[in-house]
């Protein structure tokens, strides 16, 4: 019977020990959901690069690439306009497509 108790105690110790080890990792991963470079509490919308690319193309641009979303939810990238001129382009959170800097 003492062997059974010893096994139970070992199993209990392993279970409690692994739970204690996992809790800090779980707490840490929940805190890292923040986007790198953004302030804590910044709301990042759910728009995707693919959605944004389609929106830019619908505005008459081609060769859309290098899309990145800023902490302000503005997408930035490069594209070629209808006149064949390449440059930086941005899409606001409201969906407005415009050359970067205007």
Query: What pLDDT score does 69 carry?
Result: 94
User: Is beta strand 86-91 parallel, antiparallel or unpaired with respect to 62-69?
Assistant: unpaired
Query: What pLDDT score does 39 carry?
Result: 85
Rounded to the nearest angstrom, the gap between the alpha carbon of residue 100 and the centroid of all alpha carbons in its chain is 22
Which residues touch 87 (CB under 8 Å, ≥6 apart)?
78, 79, 81, 99, 100
Q: Per-residue confidence at 101, pLDDT binned at 50, 70, 90?
A: confident
Alpha-carbon span 11 to 50, nearest angstrom:
49
Query: What pLDDT score does 84 carry?
Result: 96
Express each pLDDT in 19-75 by its tens digit: 554 454 444 443 334 556 788 888 888 999 999 999 999 999 999 999 999 999 999
Alpha-carbon span 48 to 64, nearest angstrom:
14
Alpha-carbon span 27 to 82, nearest angstrom:
49
Would you say how long the chain is, in residues?
Answer: 102
Q: How many CB atoms sit inside 10 A of residue 8's CB?
A: 10
In the numeric block, the tokens 């990792």 are attached to 25
Q: Say whether pTM exceeds 0.85.
A: no
Alpha-carbon span 59 to 98, nearest angstrom:
9
Query: What pLDDT score does 38 carry?
Result: 83
């Amino acid at each position: 019977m003492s062997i059974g108790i010893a096994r139970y105690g070992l199993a209990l110790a392993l279970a409690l020990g692994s739970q204690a080890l996992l809790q800090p990792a779980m707490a840490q991963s929940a805190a890292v959901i923040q986007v790198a470079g953004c302030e804590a509490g910044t709301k990042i919308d759910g728009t995707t690069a693919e959605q944004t690319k389609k929106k830019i193309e619908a505005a008459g641009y081609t060769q859309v690439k290098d899309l990145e979303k800023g902490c302000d939810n503005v997408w930035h990238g490069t594209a070629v306009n209808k006149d064949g001129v390449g440059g930086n382009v941005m899409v606001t959170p409201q969906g407005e497509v415009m050359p970067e800097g205007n």
